[in-house]
Amino acid sequence: MTELSDLTAVRLVEGFASGAFSPVEAARAALERIERTEPALNAFVRVDAEEALGRAAESAERWRRGEPAGLVDGVPVSVKDILLQRGAPTFRGSRTVRAEGRSWDEDAPAVARLREHGAVFLGKTTTPEFGWKGVTDSPRHGVTGNPYDPGRTAGGSSGGSAAAVAVGAGPLSLGTDGGGSVRIPAGFCGIFALKPTYGRVPNYPASPFGTLAHVGPMTRDAADAALLMDVITGPDARDWSQLGRVSGTFRDGLGGGVAGLRVAWSPDFGGRVAVDPQVAGAVRRAVERLAELGAHVEEADPGFADPVDAFHTLWFSGVARVVQHLGTEERALLDPGLREVCERGAEYSALDYLAAVDERMALGVAMGRFHERYDLLVTPTLPITAFEAGSEVPRGSGLSRWTGWTPFTYPFNLTQQPAASVPCGRDRDGLPIGVQLVAARHGDALVLRAAHALYEAGVADGVGPPPAVRG
C-alpha cells in the first residue's frame, strides 16, 4: 500500500475530496517522514508540528463541509528559509540574522497565496547563507545531505526543499533560483523543479540579486508543479516587476503532448562542457523519448560563449550588497567562501556592472532569436551527479566556485527564461540525473507540458525512491 507521504499533491487533493483520507492523516504522515529522515538529511531548519496539525484539522473540517479554501487545501508544504513566512523567523542560513526585535508577521507573496489556498505549512527548509552558492551548507544550520546518499550534497541553494520533497516530507515546496538554485538540487535529488519566467511568481522583499532571482515550485512531478503554479502566480502589489495574471491555468494544457514541437538538443553546449558519460547517456535517452513522442529533435547548440564573468559581476555584487551593513565582528561569522565573493563583489564599479548588463542583454537577444527556430532547448541539468557534501566544488576538480560545475543553469537566469529539471535516470552509484528543458520567455506552460509528457512516458520511472525512504 502506498503511504500518504508518497502521494503527489494532485492525488492528495483527490483523496481529500473523495473522503479516502483526511488532511490530518496526510500531515501526520509527512511529519512522521520528517522525523524518520531528518537526522540523516538536515533538510529543515524549523518544523512546527503543532501549527501543521492545527491547519490540517481546519482543512479537514472545510473538506467535510464541501468547502475547500482553494486548490491545495490540506496539502503539506515546506518553504525555503529565504522566503518570509508569518510567525516564523527567516534566518537565511546566517548567524548574522537575529530573531529578536522582529515581529515576523508578513508572508512572501507565494507563501501568502499558499496560505489563502489552505496549505498546511510543515516548516522552513535549509539554504546556504543568503542562498549564495549551489550547495546547501551554512555556518548556522550545517550541511544538508542527499536523500540518495547523505554523504553527498543535496545541491543548492534550495537543497533543503529538494531533499524534503524527495523523501515525502510534503509533496510541495517553495524554492528560489538565482543561478540554478531550484534546478541544481532537483537534478541531484531526483525531483522536478521549475524556474519560471522572471516575474511570473511575485517576490517580496526584492532580492539583492535583482532580476536574476526567481521563485519557483519544487515538486514530485510536473502535474504538481502546474497545480502549484496556479496557486502562486498572479499579481501582488509588493512586487513592482511581477507579470500579473495569465490566461487560463497551467493545468489546462498539461496533457497536450510534444508532437510537432521543434526541439534543439545541446548535449554539451557545442563541446564547451565536459559531461559525465553516464549523465550524457541518460539525457540522450530522455531526448530520444521526446522524439518517440512526436517531437522534431535536432542536435543544435545555442552558440553563446560562457557568460560566467557577467554572471559573477551581477551575483557577487548582489551578495556584497547583502552584507554591506555588517561590521567586522559580524563579517567574521560569515561562510568563508561568502566573505571571499563579497570582497570581490565590492570591488566592481558601476561601469563593470553595466557592462555585465550589456552582455546579459545580448545573450537575451541571442536566445530570443534561437527560440524563433526552436520551441524547446534540451540540455543536461548538470554535467555531473552529486559529490561530497560540505564542499562548494567537487574535490580534485580544480574548480574554485560553484559556477564551474553548473554551466547549464545560470545562463538562463541571465535571460529570465523558464527552465525545468526532470529526473531521467541514475548513475552507477544510484545518484539521480536530470534533464533540463528551456523555453522562450513566457513559455512556462510549454515547459510544464513537455515535462509532463516525459513523466507520462516513464522517463523518471527508473529513478525510484531514495534509500532514506526505502528504509
Q: How confident is the model at residue 99 (pLDDT cuts 50, 70, 90)?
A: confident
Mention the CATH class of domain 4-255+387-470. Answer: alpha beta
Q: Given a cut of 70, is residue 260 above it in pLDDT? A: yes
Active site residue 157: yes
DSSP 180-247: STTHHHHHHHT-EEEEPSTTSS--SSPPTTGGG-EEEEEESSHHHHHHHHHHH-S--TT-TT---PPS
Q: How confident is the model at residue 2 (pLDDT cuts 50, 70, 90)?
A: confident
Tens-place pLDDT, residues 295-335: 999 999 999 999 999 999 999 999 999 999 999 999 999 99
Tens-place pLDDT, residues 442-471: 999 999 999 999 999 999 999 998 987 765
Q: Which of 22, 59, 80, 161 is catalytic?
A: 80
Average pLDDT value for residue range 12-36:
98
Q: Given a cut of 60, is residue 1 above it in pLDDT? A: no
**Among residues of the chain, what percentage have pLDDT more than 70?**
99
What is the phi-psi region of residue 344: left when phi exceeds 0, alpha when psi lies from -120 to 50, beta otherwise?
Answer: alpha
Tens-place pLDDT, residues 386-426: 999 999 999 999 999 999 999 999 999 999 999 999 999 99
Could you list the beta-strand ranges (E) of 318-396: 376-380
Predicted local confidence at residue 406, as pLDDT? 98
Read off φ and ψ for residue 259, nearest 5 degrees.
Answer: -55, 130
Tens-place pLDDT, residues 110-132: 999 999 999 999 999 999 999 99
What is the phi-psi region of residue 382: left when phi exceeds 0, alpha when psi lies from -120 to 50, beta otherwise?
Answer: beta
Active site residue 266: no
Q: Which of 59, 94, 157, 173 is catalytic?
A: 157
Q: Which of 181, 207, 266, 317 is catalytic?
A: 181
Predicted local confidence at residue 388, as pLDDT? 98
Q: How confident is the model at residue 352 (pLDDT cuts 50, 70, 90)?
A: very high
What distance in Å separates the CA atoms of residue 68 and residue 58, rounded to the nearest whole number?
A: 10
Residue 99 burial by Cβ neighbours in a 10 Å radius (0-12, 13-18, 19+): exposed
CB 411 within 8 A of CB 303: no
Tens-place pLDDT, residues 150-177: 999 999 999 999 999 999 999 999 999 9
Tens-place pLDDT, residues 173-228: 999 999 999 999 999 999 999 999 999 999 999 999 999 999 999 999 999 999 99
Active site residue 181: yes
Give the H/E segment covering residue 172: strand 172-177
Predicted local confidence at residue 85, as pLDDT? 98
Predicted local confidence at residue 470, as pLDDT? 65
Closest CA to 162 of 197, 126, 203, 130: 126
